[in-house]
Amino acid sequence: MERERWINIALALLLLAAPLLALAAGEAFYVTLATRVAVLALAAVGLNLALGLGGLVSFGHAAFFGIGGYAAGILAAQEMTAMPPIWIVAALVAGIMAAFIGAVSLRTSGVYFIMITLAFAQMIYYFVISWPAYGGEDGLPLAVRNQFPFVNTLKPLPFFLICYVLLLAGLLLFAWLRDGRFGAALQAARQNETRLAALGVSPFPIRLTAFVLSAMITAVAGALYADLTRFVSPSMLSWHLSGELIVIIILGGTGRLFGPLAGAALFVLMEFLLGSLTERWQFFLGLVLLGTVLFAKGGLIGLIAGKARNG
């Protein structure tokens, strides 16, 4: 546990140092790359709450990521360009959707849960594509990045710092939820729901709450992603993105606090390094994923920090 803490701190500092070094070297592009890591990591932190702690394999978290993105895009189109209110709206809308989707899909488990969450996400995807008011299939460009008080968000470094701070906040929230009584019940629901019920705690409301909180975090990441690319595309809602978030978590370490960051860093680095060599870089991603699943079930964090110990 102690070792994992040091690794976590090192990872957090590494992500902070990367853009500073890049700027010092005059390579502003790498700041954007680091921002992409932070935003995808935050999205995965959200999913990690449901998937890692709760064992809820949601194959539809792109819906919440996309809802966050469209919240940012649509509000910006209405001249509401302050980031904090946008994040709140993104989180609230996604939370309400998740309460509805969760109330239906959490009545199932296993493969059925995976398929139902996928189905809901695809419904939202096709709805957005066929909705011409906000770009439909073409997506929705943001003229300028949304505003944050006293910060010039158009400069890469300040925007990275915003994303970085939100990532840290998301990680703190995750740790806080995991270590408290709610987190104990949620992890118990994953390990043995019959036992949890026999102790007098219904698993369903616990899981639903986790699913909603999970969606809210992922939605904030979606809003940041829209600002990062200054473009909201329906592909944010596509099942590929749901899959990528799951891959990020598995690569980094399922249920581990910094698993999403480790996984997102690995994912973005592979995408960038291998992507510049071949268009079929995902072939190699598949190989790495296969290796992780077969030989390093704890992901990158598990590989360097050892098995998780639960108190």
Partner 1 sequence: MAEAVLALSRLVKSFGALKVTDDVTLDLREGEVHALIGPNGAGKSTLIHEIAGGVRPDSGTIHFCGRDIGALDTAARAKLGLARSFQVSSLLPEFSALRNVMLAVQARQGSSFRFGRPVMRDASLIEPAMAMLEKVGLEDRAVIPAAELSHGERRKLEIAMAMGLHPRAFLLDEPMAGMGPEGSKSLTHFLDGLREEAPILLVEHDMDAVFALADRISVLFYGRIIASGPPHEIRKDPEVQRAYLGERA
Q: Can you give the binding site for partner 1, defined by CB under 8 A? A: 176-177, 179-185, 187-188, 191-192, 194-202, 205-206, 209, 308-311
Least gap, CB of 75 to partner 1 (angstroms): 29
Residue closer to partner 1 (CB basis): 155 or 195? 195
The SS3 assignment for 27 reads coil
Question: Which tokens is 80 given?
Answer: 């509401």
Residue closer to partner 1 (CB basis): 183 or 263? 183
| Whether the Cβ atoms of residue 53 and residue 207 lie closer than 8 Å to each other | no
Least gap, CB of 307 to partner 1 (angstroms): 10
| Whether the Cβ atoms of residue 268 and residue 33 lie closer than 8 Å to each other | yes
Least gap, CB of 104 to partner 1 (angstroms): 19
Least gap, CB of 309 to partner 1 (angstroms): 8
Least gap, CB of 209 to partner 1 (angstroms): 7
Residue closer to partner 1 (CB basis): 19 or 55? 55
What is the distance between the alpha carbons of residues 123 and 126, in angstroms, rounded to a whole number? 5
What is the distance between the alpha carbons of residues 103 and 97, in angstroms, rounded to a whole number? 10
Least gap, CB of 120 to partner 1 (angstroms): 25
Residue closer to partner 1 (CB basis): 1 or 144? 1
What is the distance between the alpha carbons of residues 187 and 207, in angstroms, rounded to a whole number? 10
DSSP per-residue codes, 36-64: HHHHHHHHHHHHHIIIIIT----S-HHHH
Residue closer to partner 1 (CB basis): 58 or 187? 187
Residue closer to partner 1 (CB basis): 129 or 188? 188
What is the distance between the alpha carbons of residues 205 and 211, in angstroms, rounded to a whole number? 10
Least gap, CB of 298 to partner 1 (angstroms): 12
Residue closer to partner 1 (CB basis): 209 or 235? 209
Please tell me the number of Cα atoms within 13 Å of 16 on its side-chain side: 13
Question: Which tokens is 137 given?
Answer: 């299939």
Least gap, CB of 255 to partner 1 (angstroms): 9
CA distances from residue 106 to 91, 207, 211, 250 in whole angstroms, order as listed: 20, 8, 9, 22
Residue closer to partner 1 (CB basis): 157 or 173? 173
CA 20 to chain centre: 24
CA 224 to chain centre: 11
What is the distance between the alpha carbons of residues 20 and 127, in angstroms, rounded to a whole number? 41
